[in-house]
Each structure stands twice: as C-alpha cells, then as structure tokens.
Amino acid sequence: MDQQRQITVLQASAITISTIVGVGVLSLPLAAVRAADAGAPLVTLLGAALSILASMLIVWLGMRFPNESYIEYSEKLIGKGLARTIIIIWILYFAILSSLIAREFGEVVITAVLRNTPLEVTVIVMLLLAAFTSRKNIMTFAYIHTFYIPFILVPVLLIVALSLKNADVVNVLPLWGNEPSGIVKGFFMLSTMFQGYFIMMMVIPSMRSPKKAMRSIWLAMLITSILYVLVVSATVSVFGAEETKKLLWPTLELAKDTSLPANILERLDAVFLAVWVTAVYTSLFSCYYFTIYSIGKLFRLQDHGMLSFFILPFLFLLAMLPQSLVQLNEINALITQFGVALTIAYPGLLLLVSLLRKKRGNQKQ
C-alpha cells in the first residue's frame, strides 16, 4: 500500500478541524459582537455558511485532480507563469499567517500566563515546535492532528456547556441584533475565522479515497461551525454584547467565570489555556507545514524537511515586526481578509477553468 495515501475521511476531518480551531477562538466573540451586537450568533452562522461554500469549492477542485498537488494542477490549468506567481503569493500569505499565529500566541501567553517571560521566547518556542514536527511526512502530520483533536474539542465543549448556567437569553435577543446592517459586512469578516479549510488542498492527494473528501469537509465544517456558534452564543449570553465589546479575549473571560457544579473547581481558564495552546499548535503546524510543502512542490523536491529550518528565522522576524497588540490586530484583520479572498478566488478560478476546459486529472489511485 502506498505509504503516502493513507489518510482516511476522519483523519482529514480531524486535520481540518484542528487547523480551523486555533488562536482566533479567543477573540471570536469580540469580532462577532462588533459586527452585529446581539446578533453575534447569527453572523457567526452566516460566516460559517460562506466558509462551507468556499471549502466545497476547494474540495471539488481537489477531487477533480486526486493524484496531483495543487501546484501541479494549477500549472496545468492556467499555465506555469501565472500559476507560479500566484503560488508564490499564496506561500507568502501562509508564511505571514504562521508568523501572526505565533505572535498572537506569544501575546496571550505573556499577558495571561507567563508574565515575566519575554515575548520572543514564547514565539520562538512555538515556531521551533512547528519547525521540528514539520520535517516529517504527511502521515505523521495526520497522526498528530488526529491525536490532539479530542483534547481540543472535548474541553472546549465542556467549558461552553458549564458556562451556560450563567447565561441570560435576553442577552442574545433580538437574534438579528440591534443594527442588522452590520450583518452583511460582518459575516465576511467572520468567515475569516474558518479559513483553515485550505489545508484540504494539501490533504486530498494523500487521502485513501479522494472521492470521499467532500464527506470529510462537510463533517469538519459542521463540527467547527457548531463549536464556534456555541462559543459565541455562550459568551454573548453570559456577558451581553456591550460587555463583550470591552473584553480583549472574551472566550478566556468566559472560561474564567465558569466553574464546575457546586463550585468544585473554579477558574477554568487554566484548563482552557492548556487546551488552547494545543489548538494554537495544531493551527500553526498546519500553516507551517503547508508553507514548506508548497515550496517543496514548487521546486519539485521529494522531501521538504530542509525547508522547515530555513524559513524559521524569517518567520520569527515577521512575527516580531508588529510593535504592539493593536498593530498586530490591525495587521491580522487585513491579512486574514486578503487571505479569505485568496482562498476563495484562486480555487474558484481554477475550478472554473477546469470545468470550462473539461480538464481532469488521472482518476486512478
């Protein structure tokens, strides 16, 4: 059996879920209430719906070329020159995204956990971890994600469920918020929180049955959407929209307020942060791996291991560039919006060209 074609449907779903659920989960309710006040759950749901459509585009495209990497079929469809130019932009985007994830992780850790630790240390530790683990093949990549998925999903769902005892339904009414006009702009913004589905472009050629890729993306997006809507609903129902707007990391505050029944254990933010570190690692791992995988495929290298340490110092410098948390959030918003456009427009363009030119890859596995 081909060692590189062993990823099952569930593993592919686990990869996608753990890529999506990451550093953004802390500030997700803030983005949602800024867009739609009490209508935050609705705007999150709409953002999820848009992401599901975008992810289906990517998977549909990947299923048409099950034996080729996205770089190979891009070159086939739109020519080498244009494809390579766009892929270089793609690689730069994911490299910057990796550095932003590492930086945001560092900011949260030095604020909430290790207050005397320099920011550089937290950033480099996470980047080093991603660099070391990215040297392995895609099956190791899949195993790592599959291993961590229960540790991410179960505690988050538990904390959300326990927080609901402090919830007040009035805080999430009206369902469409006090300013429904914000919903249209807001749901595009919220869809940036789900853009981890890009990882399917890398996973499909390594799937045991690429024909089942649509099932895995559906499962992944469904679970992530439900999780995110629950997190936003719980936060807004506990704090209310106006209070949530004043919190930098509302999900963390929600975990702080949550306790086990009969107050057996309080301040669950410690548990939540431990889980969150895992979630951030898996997201960063995916972005990092995708970056070096893409560079390796672009230069037709059989192994991408040597690239993992090559890009490390550059990502570290990129991560350290923002001078403050405010600047980081501004850059983050700009980059992620550009990224959503990129991850929808480029695969959409390729799919359109593929359909118009009636080009498919070799369907034999």
Partner 1 sequence: MIGEMYSGYLYMAIAIWIFSGLFNLGVDRTNYGQFEMKKEQKASTVLGWINLSLGVLTFTGAMIIKLLV
Binding site for partner 1 (CB under 8 A): 118, 120, 124, 299-303, 305-307, 309-310, 312-313, 316-317, 320
> Of 147 and 299, which has the nearer Cβ to partner 1?
299
Task: Give residue for tokens 């550059």.
Answer: 314
Nearer to partner 1 by Cβ, of 92 and 173: the residue is: 92
- In sequence order, the 6+-apart residues with CB closer than 8 A to the CB of 109 are 117, 122, 277
- Between 300 and 364, whose beta carbon lies closer to partner 1? 300
Smaller CB separation from partner 1, 10 or 298: 298
Distance of closest approach, residue 286 Cβ to partner 1, in angstroms: 21
> CA-to-CA distance for 267 and 256, rounded, in angstroms?
5
Q: How many CB atoms lie within 10 A of CB 256?
A: 16
Q: How far is the CB of 137 from partner 1 (least distance, A)?
A: 13
Q: Can you give the length of the chain in residues?
A: 365
**Residue 226 and residue 150: Cα distance in Å, rounded?**
16
State the Cα–Cα distance between residues 114 and 273, nearest whole angstrom.
12
The distance of closest approach from Cβ of residue 77 to partner 1 in the complex, given in angstroms and rounded to an integer, is: 26
Q: Per the structure block, which two tokens stand in for 145?
A: 């994600």
Closest distance to partner 1 from the beta carbon of 59 (Å): 31
Contacts with 333 (C-beta within 8 Å, 6 or more apart), sequence order: 189
Which lies closer to partner 1 via its Cβ, residue 288 or residue 316? Answer: 316
Scanning the structure block, which residue is given the tokens 């807004």?
236
CA dist 360 and 265 (Å) reads: 56
Spatial separation of the C-alpha atoms in residues 61 and 75, rounded to whole Å: 14
Shortest Å distance, C-beta 311 to partner 1: 9
Instruction: Find residue 7's DSSP bridge partners.
Output: 207
Query: Among residues 181 and 302, whose Cβ is nearest to partner 1?
Result: 302
Shortest Å, Cβ 331 to partner 1: 17
Q: Smallest gap, in angstroms, from Cβ of residue 336 to partner 1?
A: 24
Of the two residues 139 and 273, which places its CB atom closer to partner 1 in the complex?
A: 139
Residue 147 or 310 with smaller CB distance to partner 1: 310
Q: CB 183 → partner 1: shortest distance, Å?
A: 41
Say how many Å lie between the first and final Cα of the chain, rounded.
11
Angstrom distance (rounded) from CA 249 to CA 162: 18
Nearer to partner 1, 249 or 316 (CB): 316
Of the two residues 132 and 147, which places its CB atom closer to partner 1 in the complex? 132
CB atoms under 10 Å from CB of 177, counted, come to 25
Q: For residues 12 and 16, give the distance between their C-alpha atoms in angstroms, rounded to a whole number.
A: 6
326-106-31 Cα angle (round to 5): 45
Q: Minimal distance in Å, beta carbon 300 to partner 1?
A: 8
- Spatial neighbors of 180 by CB under 8 A, at least 6 apart, are 36, 39
Q: How many CB atoms lie within 10 A of CB 93?
A: 19
Kindly state the smallest distance separating residue 136's Cβ from partner 1, in Å. 13
